[in-house]
């Protein structure tokens, strides 16, 4: 394998990783604070992608980039207030079932509105002309590079938010011990709602970014949900660092396996997951004793 080939696979892998990380971070945030495995997370991704498609084609890309995260944040808050909050105290199986039900409804609504076939989702005009990469690597579609860059920025912002703000401190405390946070007089309900909002926003950003890179159809959310969940489990549920690291591993594994072992490219992430879980059931950065 030549250097340029390696570099191109690396970029492709990082782009896949970026989407995994965005989706998995939201999942793990929601799980860590609320203890809910959100099976509707793929649905939020699909909403982000279709909303981005509609706004970018009708009004313009600049608007899509601004509007989609805001709408998804709002939807997340409505999702928590309108549905999830009634399930905090119900058995985990009920939480899984109700979010799964919502995921089906969103998917089928998307099918009703946009049709079942894949829809092309062109990236913005300025991101269509391939750019020349340094070191003689040749030309590369810039949109994938933008996805990586946006994800890096989003992840850094998220970590700053969680590490250096009072809100972040409360969220981290909530992930450690939600009961205690309530006893300290912190409005945990408001906190939870905001976390769901942020998680949904991340899924929406993933949707609008990944839509043009691949293509979108109503079931793409359900398809993405499975690897995203694996990333969360491999990283250790509730661990943000774990989600990022595991997302990188999974994305690079699926990208490089296409070159080295094309037969197992489709299932490589599952094999990685089996390996990790056999030797470390709680995940790479998981806390012992949870689950």
x/- mask, other proteins, residues 173-212, rule CB under 8 A, reads: ----------------------------------------
Q: Which helix (H) or strand (E) holds 143?
A: helix 142-164
Residues 6+ positions from 160 with CB-CB distance below 8 Å: 168
Q: Which residues within the stretch 108-147 sit at the binding site for other proteins (CB under 8 A)?
A: 108-109, 111-112
Of the candidates 16, 29, 30, 102, which one interacts with other proteins according to CB under 8 A?
Answer: 102
Tokens 């660092």 sit on residue:
241
C-beta neighbour count of 263 within 10 angstroms: 8
| 246: contact with other proteins by CB under 8 A | no
Q: Which member of 143, 229, 256, 285 binds other proteins (CB under 8 A)?
A: 229
Question: Looking at 123-131, 140-148, 189-197, 270-278, which segment touches other proteins (CB under 8 A)?
Answer: 270-278
Minimum CB separation from other proteins for residue 261, in Å? 10
Q: How far apart are CA 284 and CA 237, in angstroms?
A: 9
**Number of helical H runs and strand E runs in the chain:** 11, 2
**What DSSP designation does 117 have?**
S
Q: Which of 5, 10, 94, 180 binds other proteins (CB under 8 A)?
A: 94
Among 161-169, 197-205, 219-227, 240-248, which window interacts with other proteins (CB under 8 A)?
219-227
Out of 47, 127, 195, 237, name the contact with other proteins by CB under 8 A: 237
138-140 and 131-133 as β-strands: parallel, antiparallel, unpaired? antiparallel
């Amino acid at each position: 394998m030549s250097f340029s080939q390696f570099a191109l696979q690396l970029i492709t892998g990082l782009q896949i990783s970026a989407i995994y990380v965005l989706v998995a971070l939201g999942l793990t945030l929601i799980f860590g604070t609320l203890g809910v495995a959100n099976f509707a997370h793929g649905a939020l991704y699909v909403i982000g992608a279709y909303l981005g498609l509609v706004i970018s084609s009708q009004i313009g890309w600049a608007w899509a980039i601004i509007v989609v995260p805001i709408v998804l944040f709002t939807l997340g808050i409505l999702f928590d207030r309108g549905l999830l909050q009634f399930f905090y105290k119900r058995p985990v199986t009920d939480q899984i079932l109700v979010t799964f039900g919502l995921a089906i409804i969103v998917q089928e609504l998307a099918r009703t509105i946009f049709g079942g076939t894949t829809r092309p989702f062109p990236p913005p005009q300025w991101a269509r002309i391939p750019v020349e990469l340094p070191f003689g690597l040749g030309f590369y579609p810039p949109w994938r590079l933008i996805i990586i860059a946006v994800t890096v920025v989003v992840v850094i912002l998220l970590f700053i938010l969680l590490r250096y703000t009072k809100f972040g401190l409360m969220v981290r405390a909530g992930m450690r011990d939600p009961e205690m946070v309530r006893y300290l007089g912190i409005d945990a309900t408001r906190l939870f709602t905001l976390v769901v909002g942020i998680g949904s926003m991340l899924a929406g950003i993933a949707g609008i970014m990944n839509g043009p890179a691949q293509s979108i159809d109503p079931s793409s959310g359900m398809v993405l949900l499975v690897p995203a969940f694996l990333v969360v489990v491999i990283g250790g549920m509730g661990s943000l660092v774990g989600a990022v690291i595991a997302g990188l591993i999974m994305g690079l594994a699926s990208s490089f396996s296409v070159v080295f072992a094309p037969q197992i490219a489709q299932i490589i992430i599952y094999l990685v997951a089996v390996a990790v879980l056999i030797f470390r059931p709680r995940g790479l950065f998981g806390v012992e004793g949870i689950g």
